[in-house]
Chains A and B, each alone.
Chain A
């Protein structure tokens, strides 16, 4: 096209290449990790907090956020476990962030959020509420204790 300057053509090509690279990376990461929350329809069973051991290395946690605490507040699991978190809220919107494991979920009334994560190193992992949920928001933290000797 004659309306375009030569350098403009070059910059369009560069933009196209760069965008292709970005989009390829996104699709690649999605295939490789795919750790965005899973979409589940609501089910009342998830609104009672509990930790269920499916087998030695597989756990299910029904985590319930409410003003201003998580239940369960402490979750003990052995190292190497894979944990399914099902997260919901009893009241306002809360956050559910385990930053060391890139678990990043919103806890919403009447909705179930889900992700799966493997804890392959021992330690104490903080669960922080990172959505404003009222005057006690800054008090809202729970923890996952991996390989706690007291658990055995």
Chain B
């Protein structure tokens, strides 16, 4: 379909800004594997500190890229299925809020005033612009939900007895999850952290802030993931040359995500104090509720691929795997999606480990964790994002994809890199290698007393994987920006692959309405989270003052910081049996 210049331009900017920032994000990803493996024993390179780079890597890759993309992809999906464009003023308003927020936070991070990582746990204090920027980015990304909800209500009035298109349902579910979960982080940032960072409030309740963060933080991963799910359900079967096995299965999976995405955040806090075991256990079990839509999806997608393979003449039990269009440059999205799906098998399985209370004790905060989530967020999420960005840009602009044969091998190269990287990280985690640590200065420095030789092979594997991923990333930048720089060959249109359903079940009203699901969502949320918030408010004592990353004294009493080097205080040794 033809769309207005304004909508095209909006989508181009919403893809172009985060992908340009991604260059910084990927650079710091590579740098971390270099620091960690002890190839260099430095605290900074090219004026950028390890932890500053780690903050940039997390914020850009996991928050900026994913939210901008979800909004751009949502606009494209809504316009395509409703054959109607979202309100321009509102859409551009959201864009400017998000961009301003991103610029504020980027300034704070690049200036070295917000090296607090993307979880920004207090009482480590960042520059107020970091918190303000995060809040603007998030609020800006809420706005499209209301824009699309209006379009949906209008469409529904005209089509009361027609099933809502699956992709539309998915986009709405995703942004409802996003809206609900970000209320908590907006409260954390605007009510707890910003006044405290400005010095208007003396202290902050750290556990309450962490609990609010993880109310948001785990739902965030589904917000990353659902655009990829929408592509898996509504595009992958078509790209494979087949049909979606069941349309209803997709709807059920999406509504289950609505129920189970948010009330599970405490499973990130199994090791935290002040939260009772019962709350942790309950949310741990709810986390396994998310396994249900995942299993439904695994089956439905495998069945859809089998159907496609058999149509292409596949025989035997698993023969269909050999008959899929893995390397077809004209269907490159298939390569990106199937690669992401493959990584997600391992991402999902390691996730089940993390959600199990006792097993989490083995791996919490070790290198295992980045090993796990690079197979989810840097798996189906990232591959879906970059594949779809190239696809959307090239079709909307009417330009041919630059280097199409390279484009189709990028995801496979990425898979190889991630598998090696995540294997190294997971192995390291199982033998105690911490995450988020500049290991090269101490633990991976042979001349340092803390040198830990066990972590040499694990960090070397992560380095190898990191190099391969970076090469794949570079090739993607060449393809994406190369496409941007090439000449228009046809008129740009908005076209998305659409899978027909093999079993196109008749409309069941329960799976085509939001109300009962939203009510259930609210009930589960209250049952899961009210006790957690009571614990977090009641059990801790005093709040904490502000600390900067380079000074053990709180900000109020800080002497002027003259040197930035670390001088550990004399160690106190106590003998128990004296």
Contacts and interface: CB of A to CB of B under 8 A. Distances in A.
B117 interface: yes
Contacts of A37: 270-273
B270 A36 contact: yes
A129 B443 CA distance: 12
B43 A36 contact: no
Given A5-B503, A111-B540, A138-B442, 19 more contacts: A3-B248, A5-B245, A7-B303, A8-B299, A11-B295, A11-B299, A15-B292, A33-B358, A39-B273, A40-B273, A41-B274, A49-B572, A52-B576, A53-B576, A67-B552, A71-B571, A76-B576, A106-B365, A128-B432
A44 B51 CA distance: 32
Contact of A95 (B205, B291, B365, B571): B365
Interface in A111-147: 111-114, 126, 128-139, 141
Nearest to A74: B573
Interface string B504-536: 011010000000000000000000000000010
Contacts, number: 255
Interface residues of B, number: 89
Contacts of B566: 68, 135-136, 139
B102 interface: no
21 contacts: A3-B505, A7-B299, A14-B295, A19-B291, A37-B273, A39-B274, A41-B539, A43-B541, A68-B568, A71-B574, A97-B364, A105-B273, A108-B207, A108-B540, A110-B206, A132-B51, A132-B54, A134-B547, A134-B548, A137-B437, A138-B443
B434 A129 contact: yes
Interface in B184-236: 205-207, 210
Interface of B: 43, 49, 51, 54, 117, 121, 123-124, 205-207, 210, 245-246, 248-249, 269-277, 280-281, 284-285, 288, 291-292, 295-296, 299, 303, 352, 356-362, 364-366, 431-432, 434-439, 441-443, 450, 503, 505-506, 508, 535, 538-544, 547-552, 554, 564, 566, 568-569, 571-577
A39 B366 CA distance: 22
Interface in A42-96: 42-44, 49-53, 59, 66-69, 71-78, 87-88, 91-93, 95
Contacts of B569: 69
Given A108-B206, A111-B273, A135 B43 contact: yes
Contacts of B362: 99, 102, 104
B288 A42 contact: no
Contact of B356 (A14, A19, A26, A97): A26
Contacts of B117: 132
Contact of B568 (A29, A33, A69, A87): A69
B113 to A, nearest CB: 14
A68 B206 contact: no
Given A68-B568, A139-B566, A111 B576 contact: no
Nearest to A144: B576
A5 B366 CA distance: 43
Contact of A135 (B292, B506, B564): B564
Contacts of A11: 295-296, 299
B531 to A, nearest CB: 11
A76 B352 contact: no
A149 to B, nearest CB: 11
Nearest to B281: A30
A108 B547 contact: no
Contact of B277 (A36, A68, A104): A36
Given A42-B540, A109-B206, A131-B365, A50 B276 contact: no
Nearest to B119: A132
